[in-house]
Amino acid sequence: EIPIHSTGFEDCDVSFPSLPSDEYILTSASAPVTTSEELVVNFNVFERIKKKTKEDEQEAESVIADDAVQTTTTTRTSDDELNALLKTSQAPMTSQLLPPSSASTLVESMAAHEEMQYLNLIRDIIDHGVQRGDRTGTGTLSKFGVQMRFSLRNNVLPLLTTKRVFWRGVAEELLWFVSGSTNAKDLQDKNIRIWDGNGSREFLDSRGLGHREEGDLGPVYGFQWRHFGAQYTDMHADYSGQGVDQLAKAIDAIKNNPTDRRILVSAWNPAALDEMALPPCHMFCQFYVADGALSCQMYQRSADMGLGVPFNIASYALLTRLVARVCDLDAGEFIHTIGDAHVYLNHVDALRTQLTRIPRPFPRLVINEEKRDIDSFSYEDLTVEGYSPHGTIKMKMAV
């Protein structure tokens, strides 16, 4: 193992040997730490991939059964090798930051950067996932039943940093859900086109919804959150007072009965699934209040790990922050529970690139202090501070 520390700044003032991605993999990263000199640093651990010799391959062929799974092994660097590496790195600040004990022990004792949960899950799915067909015909690698947890305390926003996430799209879509809208054109007018594919004429016709106007998604997320059980006609109708306003009821329960174990908001309505352009992937969430802080757990039946999940994490973190603000609570934690966690086969190469990147500090989300009503928020009320991600990684959406 090679522990290295780097600053949270683009131009790092600590140099270390370049680590080729075909020889080393990032296995852990610490959360940002502020030194006594007020320098923000994080510690990262890389493992060297053991190179297989011809003798290894011949031996493996003789002992591995036809149906066995062969996995990559890693080797750990000794303390002597580690010390030699640190000396040759010409990084004077490293010796000042590391205590006399093993640097590996230091990294293990520090809080992990929470983005590593996502990166490790991606790597696990690519390396060990089951290859399956899917509705889109693209093909996936999949694992079933996983969970990630993200702290929302101190205004931290878990907006992934190993690629740039479209924050404006995340925020406007969440506010669109909250409004109860089912009109994809509301987002198009703001140059947010994440629902264009599922609202297209071709896609609606393929779902047997040829009678619908293009862009009319049917009784999807926002409609279920605010009008569950109401009879859906089209995206132009006024549904005020119709159905169950689950979001309003949840907020009322959080304020007046915070220990209630039935504070849920569900987008999964079996009676209306055939009317939806796309049945909900993130199906329902549950709110939980403890020690003055609001936490949220969301269950997602189907999760596109490359494109969708970075959006979903930030979206429900934002929802939790907004509901906490309305209820005069701190934000606690977002727990993301996933059923079918999958990587599309045409995303594998792009995600392998993302796996070579070191997480940076999560940004902070500041919300307009004057807003206290769930229906009053706009994108302009949300300010993200300190977001300095790696570059964009393009992936094609499977429709």
Residue 68's contacts (CB-CB under 8 Å, 6 or more residues apart) are none
**Residue 376's CB: how many other CB atoms inside 10 A?**
12
Active site residue 327: no
Ramachandran category for residue 322: left, alpha or beta (phi over 0 → left; psi -120 to 50 → alpha): alpha
**Options 281, 285, 296, 327, the catalytic residue:** 281
Query: Left if phi > 0, otherwise alpha if psi is -120 to 50, otherwise beta: which for 154?
Result: left
**Do 124 and 143 form a contact (C-beta atoms < 8 A)?**
yes
Torsion sign over Cα 47, 51, 55, 57: positive
Which structure tokens are listed for 247?
A: 């979001």
Neighbours of 136 (CB within 10 A): 12
Q: What six digits make up the tokens of 112?
A: 């992990």
Report CA torsion sign: 173, 145, 272, 264.
negative
For 110, the 3-state DSSP assignment is coil
Instruction: Give the CA distances from residue 157 to residues 43, 111, 364, in Å, rounded to whole numbers and listed in that order.
Output: 20, 17, 5
> Helix 115-128 to helix 308-326 angle, to the nearest 10 degrees?
150
Q: Which residues contact 170 (CB under 8 A, 6 or more apart)?
A: 159, 311, 314, 315, 318
Residue 335: partners with Cβ closer than 8 Å, 6 or more residues away: 147, 148, 149, 150, 295, 296, 297, 298
Amino acid, res. 102: S
Query: How far, in Å, CA of 148 to CA of 326, rounded?
Result: 25
Q: Measuring CA to CA, how many Å separate 201 from each of 217, 221, 227, 365?
A: 11, 20, 25, 37
Q: Are 390 and 164 spatial neighbours (Cβ–Cβ below 8 Å)?
A: yes
- Does an H or E element contain 266, and which? strand 264-266
Which sequence positions are flagged as catalytic? 281
